[in-house]
Amino acid sequence: MLYTIVKQNSYQDSVNLMLLTNKISTMEGINKTQIMMGTPANKDIIKAAGLYTDELDGAASNDMCIVIDTDSEEKIQEVLDEVDNYLSNQAISSGKEAFETVRSWDKATKALPGANLAIISTPGQYAAEEAEKALDRDMHVLIFSDNVTVEDERRIKEKAHEKGLLVMGPDCGTAVVSGVPLAFANVVKTGKIGVIGASGTGIQEVTTEIDRLGAGVSHAIGTGGRDLSEKIGAITMLDGIKALAQHSQTEVITLISKPPAKEVRDEVVQLLQSISKPVVAIFLGEEPHNHEGNIYYANTLEETAAIAVDLVKGNPIKSSYNKLQSQIPAVNLKPEQKTIKGLYSGGTLGYEAATLISRGLNYDNTGAHEEGYLLSANGFEVVDLGDDIYTQGKPHPMIDPDTRIQYFQKAAQDESTAIILFDLVLGYGSHEDMAGALIPGIEKIQKETQAKGKEIYFVATVCGTDQDPQSIDEQKAKLEKAGVILRDSNNQATLTALAMLDIQIEEVQKELVPATETSTVEFTVSEAIQKLLTEKPNVVNVGLKKFTEAITANGGRVVQFDWRPVAGGNPRMRQILSVLH
């Protein structure tokens, strides 16, 4: 039976409520539960889950909605006690924090007068509005929120460009500014390589590989995945490249992008050719066969990092960096076991694996895919479990292991599965012990398949550094003890999985050819952007409190904007109040 409790004016951020939902779901006697704020979008999710009741009709966006499916009415009080206990523990931990919490923009700027960067992680329908308020206060913006319209993104980025400010995002998962990790980010050594990317986990993989290879990062600027689309026109990418070109501590520029619009790509490359610094570029999905002038084109994220490190160290550039570097593990497979299932928390890492597997199969993977799938061919599958379709009302798989474990089990039930390939992404924002959380699911699958006289092999890469909040050595040791085959990069993990099935990828040997004639472009970089790249950021964090930890731990200053929807989220009232303001 369904029971509904609406707690009025009890706003909590979405991550807290997702984690609370997971906690309540594990209680004995609870068939199903959903705890969300009463926004129209959340009500749709509750309806889709088959948990909607009439009591939710009157719930506003500021009201916490608790829906419980249980056969025992006695469980309701137990659940409510657990909810109150969880929220009071959150309040106690908030009281110990080393930063001020405010409830308005005016109070935020008074609490941190030098604030020059806002991180926005509100629900998507409010993010553009809050970003504009930050730009009006002359702050750069990192928009972590997704579900922002393309029209809003274009308008905000044009406004920022005119004001000499940077907008990172929307859907910008990571950045590192002057050694301070922002949002989901790793702690990497500071150095002379500047990174700019229209890709979150792509930046994480490249920066952690740079760190592992003994070099460091000056800045890592995220642009949001749509920045190189035709509708946006690389506004942030172009401004970011110019900023890194002028930044004296940056000696090598590294660019990462998902497949861009052709005209936009050409404009970006033209700018890259006109600057004097060497550039390493990867446009994922492309298979470059040459370097051109000062631009070194990479085929994988690992190669991107390796070329950048060789350039900064003055080493000669090799013709290829994509050779399988480890011995191929021996396998004992049944004749029907012929496929790889890639189950990724990082969309870009999944895309890279899908591209490599497609090359190994000689399969053209450029067509349309089922939502959430990056590859589906002859039983081979690569799934981006961070896609919106899998995260509606659920935490991202970097935070929560449940979706991944379910898909591990589904993959193991497919008779053709030989290898389950996956990533584990460390850093601020991610689960504190993801290896420990995944291992029971992995061991259960191994035990069940071995009982049937079969073996399923798990191959993985851990994206992180020894400076991350989680211990990378401990995470690796736990996985290896559970029999997971580990590799140092996503490229090496994918090549290993393919080689275990006797599938090889021919290496591309690249030569350096002269660039097309271009003249050096003179440009100026605004004082505000120069300041952002020469000082530790002063941040107004609007939304997820989880993001403050990385800032304070790495020398940045932050004020927490304890955001609530204006006018209870009523769109008409918000519009009126906005005009009156």
**What is residue 99's predicted lDDT score, i.e. its pLDDT?**
73
**What is residue 573's predicted lDDT score, i.e. its pLDDT?**
45
pLDDT at 107 over 90: yes
Mean pLDDT estimate for the chain: 92
Q: What is the DSSP string of 511-563?
A: EEEPPPP-PPPP----HHHHHHTTS--EEEEES-GGGHHHHHHTT-EEEEE--
Cβ of 78: how many Cβ atoms within 10 Å? 17
In whole angstroms, what is the distance from residue 504 CA to residue 213 CA?
25
pLDDT at 406 over 70: yes
Give residue-wise pLDDT tens across range 150-175.
Answer: 999 999 999 999 999 999 999 999 99
Using the structure block, give the residue that is written with the tokens 């798990």: 458
**What is residue 571's predicted lDDT score, i.e. its pLDDT?**
56
Are residues 15 and 144 in contact, defined by beta-carbon separation less than 8 angstroms? no
Average pLDDT, stretch 273-282? 96
pLDDT at 579 over 50: no
Same fold, 100-171+537-581 and 172-323+507-522: yes
**What is residue 521's predicted lDDT score, i.e. its pLDDT?**
73
In whole angstroms, what is the distance from residue 548 CA to residue 39 CA?
25
Long-range interactions of 104-108: CB distance < 8 A, separation 24+? 104/561, 105/133, 105/134, 105/137, 105/540, 105/561, 108/540, 108/559, 108/561
Are residues 424 and 462 in contact, defined by beta-carbon separation less than 8 angstroms? yes
**What is residue 14's predicted lDDT score, i.e. its pLDDT?**
77
In whole angstroms, what is the distance from residue 413 CA to residue 418 CA?
11
Band of residue 515 on the pLDDT scale cut at 50, 70, 90 = confident
Using the structure block, give the residue that is written with the tokens 């006289």: 453
Give residue-wise pLDDT tens across range 564-576.
Answer: 886 555 555 445 4
In whole angstroms, what is the distance from residue 529 CA to residue 141 CA?
11
Residue 231: helix, strand or coil by DSSP? coil
Query: Beta 279-283 vs 295-297: how paired, if at all?
Result: parallel
**What is residue 561's predicted lDDT score, i.e. its pLDDT?**
95
Residue-range domain boundaries for the chain:
2-95, 100-171+537-581, 172-323+507-522, 339-500
Q: How many residues does the chain have?
A: 581
| Cα dihedral 494→284→211→193 (10° resolution) | 160
Using the structure block, give the residue that is written with the tokens 């000669």: 316
In whole angstroms, what is the distance from residue 162 CA to residue 418 CA?
54
CATH code given to domain 339-500: 3.40.50.261
Give residue-wise pLDDT tens across range 456-478.
Answer: 999 999 999 999 999 999 999 99
In whole angstroms, what is the distance from residue 560 CA to residue 136 CA?
19
Are residues 384 and 369 in contact, defined by beta-carbon separation less than 8 angstroms? no
Q: At what angle do helices 200-212 and 301-313 cross, to 10 degrees?
A: 40
Burial of 40 (0-12, 13-18, 19+ CB in 10 A): exposed
pLDDT at 454 over 80: yes
**What is residue 580's predicted lDDT score, i.e. its pLDDT?**
44
**What is residue 23's predicted lDDT score, i.e. its pLDDT?**
81
Residue 565: helix, strand or coil by DSSP? coil
In whole angstroms, what is the distance from residue 370 CA to residue 498 CA?
23
Beta strands in 410-477 (DSSP E): 417-425, 457-463
In whole angstroms, what is the distance from residue 114 CA to residue 539 CA?
9
Are residues 483 and 441 in contact, defined by beta-carbon separation less than 8 angstroms? no
Give residue-wise pLDDT tens across range 349-382.
Answer: 999 999 999 999 999 998 888 889 999 999 999 9
- Largest distance between two CA atoms of the chain: 77
Are residues 396 and 429 in contact, defined by beta-carbon separation less than 8 angstroms? no
Are residues 260 and 268 in contact, defined by beta-carbon separation less than 8 angstroms? yes
**What is residue 10's predicted lDDT score, i.e. its pLDDT?**
83
Q: At what angle do helices 490-500 and 301-313 cross, to 10 degrees?
A: 130
- Single-letter amino acid, residue 107: K
| Cα dihedral 48→50→53→59 (10° resolution) | -30
Are residues 269 and 201 in contact, defined by beta-carbon separation less than 8 angstroms? no
pLDDT at 228 over 70: yes
- Which top CATH class is 172-323+507-522? alpha beta
Nearest to 493 by CA among 508, 473, 479, 512: 479
Which range (252-256, 399-403, 467-471, 535-539) has the least confidence?
399-403
**What is residue 485's predicted lDDT score, i.e. its pLDDT?**
98
CATH superfamily of 100-171+537-581: NAD(P)-binding Rossmann-like Domain (3.40.50.720)
**What is residue 26's predicted lDDT score, i.e. its pLDDT?**
79
Band of residue 577 on the pLDDT scale cut at 50, 70, 90 = very low
**What is residue 367's predicted lDDT score, i.e. its pLDDT?**
84
Band of residue 18 on the pLDDT scale cut at 50, 70, 90 = confident
> H/E/C letters for each residue in 266-327?
HHHHHHHHCCCCCEEEEECCCCCCEEECCEEECCCHHHHHHHHHHHHHCCCCCCCCCCCCCC
In whole angstroms, what is the distance from residue 292 CA to residue 516 CA?
8
Are residues 4 and 385 in contact, defined by beta-carbon separation less than 8 angstroms? no
Give residue-wise pLDDT tens across range 416-438.
Answer: 999 999 999 999 989 999 999 99
**What is residue 22's predicted lDDT score, i.e. its pLDDT?**
78
